[in-house]
A and B are shown apart, each in its own frame.
Chain A
Amino acid sequence: MTRVALLVTCLNDALYPETGRNVVRLLRRLGVEVDFPEAQTCCAQPMINTGYLDEAVPVVRTFVEAFAGYDAVVAPSGSCAGSVRHQHRLVAARSGDATLADRVAELSPRVYELSEFLVDVLGVVDVGAYFPHTVAYHPTCHSLRMLGVGDRPTRLLEAVRGLTLVDLPAAEQCCGFGGTFAVKNSEVSVAMGTDKVRQVQETGAEVLVAGDRSCLMHLGGLLGRQGSGIRALHLADVLAATEAGS
């Protein structure tokens, strides 16, 4: 593995830079010299999933240009990795630009969600992390059903020293974020998120962990408003933590 790029995601870039920094720390600790192509912006999923395919074309074009030439692209997001692997070809087809379609087809298979990259590409499960807390893990829909990451994230968490992983009931049910759904159908979104948050609280966990900051933004927003003491952290935040502190 020569050249590895970080797809930090627009959400982490602007709102949760600590998660991006933790991916860099984690990968460096595992011996991967990760690069951040500064031309990157967004995966275009907000446009694609709201129906604005023409508007997604320039964003996908920027994406393939930013990540051209890398052997692997790592994203701390099942949703963004899923959009790149399953939806960029739709946008390319819409553009009518055969070159863009070829570049998408060539790049997409090399885009990995973080737990896939760690377990499948690097072949590690124990990343040497230390996190002495009780954790509930929410498998996000796109990592679970679009990418099929299966038990990779929980295997990574189980190998973290000091960490107690509790069973989250109905874990595989959607949290209700859904991109623009969270605003267009905000009442239903909040109803789903409220049920999820209640189930997390009932586990007695101190920390809610997921592989997508978008879902955590929604659940963390509910937890914050309710004044719950439960923290919402990304999988990378936990895996980057060490005994020496990070």
Chain B
Amino acid sequence: MSGTFVGMPAFPEAAAEALRNAQLRTNLAHATGTIRAKRLAVVGEVEGWEDLRRAGAAIKDEVLLHLDEHLVELERNLQAAGATVHWARDAAEACRIVSGIARSHRVEEVLKIKSMVTQEIGLNEALAADGIAAWETDLAELIVQLGDDLPSHILVPAIHRNRAEIREIFLREMGGVGRPAPADLTDDPARLAEAARLHLREKFLRAKVAVSGANFAVADSGALVVVESEGNGRMCLTLPEVLISVVGIEKVVPTWSDLEVFLQLLPRSSTGERMNPYTSTWTGVVPGDGPQEVHVVLLDNGRTRALADEVGRQALRCIRCSACLNVCPVYERTGGHAYGSVYPGPIGAILNPLLQGPGHDEQTDSLPYASTLCGACFEACPVLIDIPSILVDLRAQVVDARRGGVPGGEALAMKAAARTLGSARKVRRAERIAGLVGRLDLRGRRLPGPGKGWTRERDLPQPAREPFRAWWKRTGGRG
């Protein structure tokens, strides 16, 4: 029932469309502004925050360097604790594994804990095709699912909705899929949360199978970790008989004590809280306590491709905190849908092309250009991912993937510029021509073609009648 991103237009068109939605811009500016302020306050109070960031980056880099060994250790310890481990090369394989397990239990529904990776692989849609309903239990994911909508933020997928819209969605949709919202529902946040709680409680008590992701997978103890705010995750992890966790292979950390670093970095960077309300960890099966059948699906889906990218591999350090989204001036104005992926914002602008490869499709190739390279994301990233440098490198990869064909307008312009800027003599000649243009008054003018984007709302600068280099030649710098 939830939508899909497939077939989205490239970023510039999707962003322009989003900008026309005034309500969206108000919702986003308010929400990102609030989270930004909270994050700054709780990060500012930690002495040695920079050391924590460096530690987080170092642990993840070590993991990526020896990923094969850590994954085999994780598998061994999960199996020793009674879990069944599956390996999935891509989205289709992961969906087949999850659906197969659910069908072997003859269920028609599964519960979902909020997870980015199951959205990445399109699990809900795959299960629906096999006749299995997947119920999202995170409040914001529930809003997105009931509204037949798409997530627009990693942490706050319904950030583009305000409470009046949420009330309307609850009243309209809840009854069709379970316990209806009370008829006298208001847009008071407590009342909205109560309606969701009652609606979900029925499902928690009934479901036999739950599907989760994991924030971390600890190799030395075979433990998975889910960090959450609402407690719905804990319900899913404890009540059903069967638990299936889909985990990206980059989620592994070597030892239990490594969590110390990430459990400080993550909540402060994501929700702007000192500590998240619920941290659940489990390993394998404990007789008589919690799920009696535990599966872990370890997923590649482009991660080994990203790992082979020398500049981009640091993106696999990402702990999905979404601090980069909240500080991004582009995201603040366009929202997440414009990025055409479950991973929006600055991290999405690098992660999607890294997972898919440049030249895969027009939409993905447009993402590295969806940034002014202002660097606010790098400054906020708790694991020091140098997003601007990766964006620049990916742009070169996109351009390189297109070399050899018929060059477009931009490629021709860049080649011409390179020829001119390769020699001061050619620059002088170009400036003489521009100086003639400088005799025209360009104020208020709107140009066609490539100049249109600039001049629709901005005046053009006036080329100088005497460029600097001509003045220097004439006066020796003493004019």
Contacts and interface: CB of A to CB of B under 8 A. Distances in A.
Nearest to B328: A174
B467 A13 contact: yes
- If over half of B's interface residues share one DSSP class (helix, strand or loop), that class is named, otherwise mixed; here it is helix
A217 B457 CA distance: 13
Contacts of B379: 145
- If over half of A's interface residues share one DSSP class (helix, strand or loop), that class is named, otherwise mixed; here it is helix
Given A17-B467, A41-B422, A222 B376 contact: no
A42 interface: yes
A20 B395 contact: no
Interface string A30-65: 000010101111101011111111011011011000
A211 interface: no
B427 A41 contact: yes
Interface in A135-153: 141-142, 144-146
Interface in A175-218: 176-194, 217-218
A196 B333 CA distance: 13
A14 B434 contact: yes
A188 B15 contact: yes
Interface in B409-424: 410-411, 414-415, 417-424
B231 interface: no
Contacts, number: 205
Contact of A52 (B411, B458, B460): B411
B396 A53 contact: yes
Nearest to B453: A186
A141 B431 contact: no
Given A48-B392, A185-B12, A187-B12, A38 B418 contact: no
Interface of B: 11-12, 15-16, 19, 329-330, 333-334, 368-376, 378-379, 388, 392-400, 410-411, 414-415, 417-424, 427, 430-431, 434, 443-444, 450, 453-454, 456-464, 466-469, 471-473, 477, 479
A14 B467 contact: yes
A44 B330 contact: no
Contact of A145 (B378, B410, B467): B378
Given A14-B434, A46-B417, A38 B456 contact: no
Contacts of B420: 41
B373 A222 contact: no
A225 B378 CA distance: 33
A224 interface: yes
Contacts of B423: 41, 62
A132 to B, nearest CB: 25
Contacts of B397: 51
